[in-house]
Amino acid sequence: MNQSVFYLLSFMTVLFALLVVFSKNPIHSALYMVLTFFTITCHYVLLNAQFLAIVNFIVYMGAIMVLILFAMMFLNLGKDTEPQKPVLLKFAAVIAAGLLLVTIFAALKKTDGGQITGIASNNIGLVKELGKTLFRDFLLPFEIISILLLSAMVGAVLLAKRDTK
Amino acid sequence: MTFYIISISLLAFVAIYALMGVWAERKISALIQDRVGPVETGKFGLLQTFADIIKLLQKEDIVPTTADKVLFTLAPVLVFTSVFMGFAVLPFSPAYISSNINIGLFYFMAIISIEVVGILMAGWASNNKYAFLGSIRSIAQIIAYEIPAGIAVLSAVMIYQSLNLQEIAFQQGIYAKSDIYFFGFWKVNTVGGFLSWGVFQAPHLFVAAIIYFIASLAEANRTPFDIPEAESELVAGFHVEYSGFKFGALFLAEYAMMFLTSMVLVILFFGAWYSPLPNIAKVQLAEWTNGTYWGIFWILLKTLLIVVLQIWIRWTLPRFRADQLMNFCWKVLIPVSFACLFISAFWKLIVL
């Protein structure tokens, strides 16, 4: 049961992810991205990580997707006449994408597939467990991330601030 | 089987509530403006909205030729289903909750953020500048007001120490398992009644409740935050191109949203399904008026009172301007809600 749901969800995730790239209309591709995030949220639920699932739901599907849609609408990307990119740029893009492929391939080659260990506890994905793990085992990375976010916020405020001159 | 029965009865309840809500809205507005409101159809005009909905369903379902047909059709469905899904985690009585998940409150917040995508789809797919402007305003408003609402809710969660709506409900009356105090000094586990409601457990929760109430008005696009459908500027906002059944679905979603946010307000701050009557010496009012059926009665009564309050506000206050609305949110509500959050933390550490 769980396995067939997993395969169905994975198929849908990949399908929607491909549709994001292949659909002509930018708004459609953004909405397909919402669906991709939704199926990823379902994956979290399957993994019993309910809190993470809802956070993914709120942050990615709610806030970030709406901001992306907003940006698209204001930039007026609806026109079909996309500017032609120079050949050099295309060449660079191919090389960068190829390097990414090599990295992913190497990473996958190192992993040993088929070794699935059971989840240690049923409550692993709940808020209390997550909080305990975050503040006990991963305190330093957590704090560093918060500083990173703070600096991003300060940067955003600086950019948005009106010039006093 | 019970799953289908419960979900269908919930849907029927939402539909009938929405119809009666429209009727109540018209009657209350008439009362406030010194008119009589609908009187012709049925006793006190009670059947007026039923007649209206029959008329609405018979109307031609128009899809504008330049609209994005798929998105245009999907948008009302998405808006309504997302609001309706929120009802899954609401506890109606001590014994009855559709889905007793341990992150119910967070789920509810997520559902609201999905409604935004539906509104955006509706506004964009209509291919109409008024609809588009309306949806942009609506989204800017909902995203902004989600923050104070979320933080006000969090300050309550810090007091209750749970995200499960049923557990939160249990902690506000005589069935509570942990100790509860009236303003932190008088233990009220056996007294119950309104004395043990969330707003009376800590004084700052009353402020949090008001913040949440204001934000919920904005999230349901109700006056004084109804700039998304400001009739005098935008015709009808994001649903200007909708007609027939699709318009009906959007309309239903608005009223269902009012009910949903009011009910969460009641669950978090006003005692959920607990009776407001306390035990006084031998007169065990709280013991007598709590239970499964009483619970359903009390929570519906309290929620409908909040809905009436929303309607009352709509017909009393004028509309905010867009910049006033954003200033109010970012410069007043958010700082105050953060203050509530800090007080909650100190309250939990020091007083309790």
Question: pLDDT of B109-128, one tens digit each?
Answer: 888 888 888 888 888 888 78
Write out the two tokens for A62.
Answer: 């709610």
Please give the pLDDT value at position B80: 87
DSSP state, B181?
A: E
Residue of A54, A74, A157 to mutate, interface with B, max B Cβ within 10 Å = A54
Element (H, E) at A89: helix A87-110
Whether A150 shows a pLDDT value over 90: the answer reads: yes
In chain B, alpha helices (H): 2-32, 48-58, 69-85, 104-125, 129-160, 165-170, 198-201, 204-219, 231-234, 244-269, 285-288, 292-314, 322-327, 334-346
This model of the complex carries an ipTM of: 0.74
Please give the pLDDT value at position A100: 94
Task: Parse chain A into domains and list their residue ranges.
Answer: 1-82, 83-117, 122-165
| Number of Cβ within a 10 Å radius of residue B96 | 16
Residues of B in contact with A69 (CB under 8 A): 117, 120, 124
**Does B295 or A84 have the greater pLDDT score?**
B295
Q: Give the pLDDT mean for B216-226.
A: 80
In chain A, DSSP finds a helix count (H) and a strand count (E) of 7, 0
Question: pLDDT of A120-133, one tens digit each?
Answer: 566 666 777 788 88
Q: Looking at the domain covering A1-82, what would its CATH class be? A: mainly alpha
Q: pLDDT class for A80, splitting at 50, 70, 90?
A: low
Q: Give the pLDDT mean for B249-267.
A: 87
Q: Of A6, A18, A11, which is closest to residue A42 (Cα–Cα)? A: A6
In A2-64, alpha helices (H): 2-22, 26-46, 50-56
Residues of A in contact with B103 (CB under 8 A): 50-51, 54, 126-127
Q: pLDDT class for A21, splitting at 50, 70, 90?
A: confident
Percent of chain B with pLDDT over 70: 98
Q: Give the pLDDT mean for B132-150.
A: 84
Alpha carbon distance A45, B28 (integer Å): 44
Whether B46 shows a pLDDT value over 70: the answer reads: yes
Task: Parse chain B into domains and list their residue ranges.
Answer: 1-58, 66-351
- What pTM, to 2 d.p., does this model score? 0.84
Residues of A in contact with B238 (CB under 8 A): none
Q: pLDDT class for A83, splitting at 50, 70, 90?
A: low
Q: pLDDT class for A119, splitting at 50, 70, 90?
A: low
B136 contacts A70? CB cut-off 8 A: yes
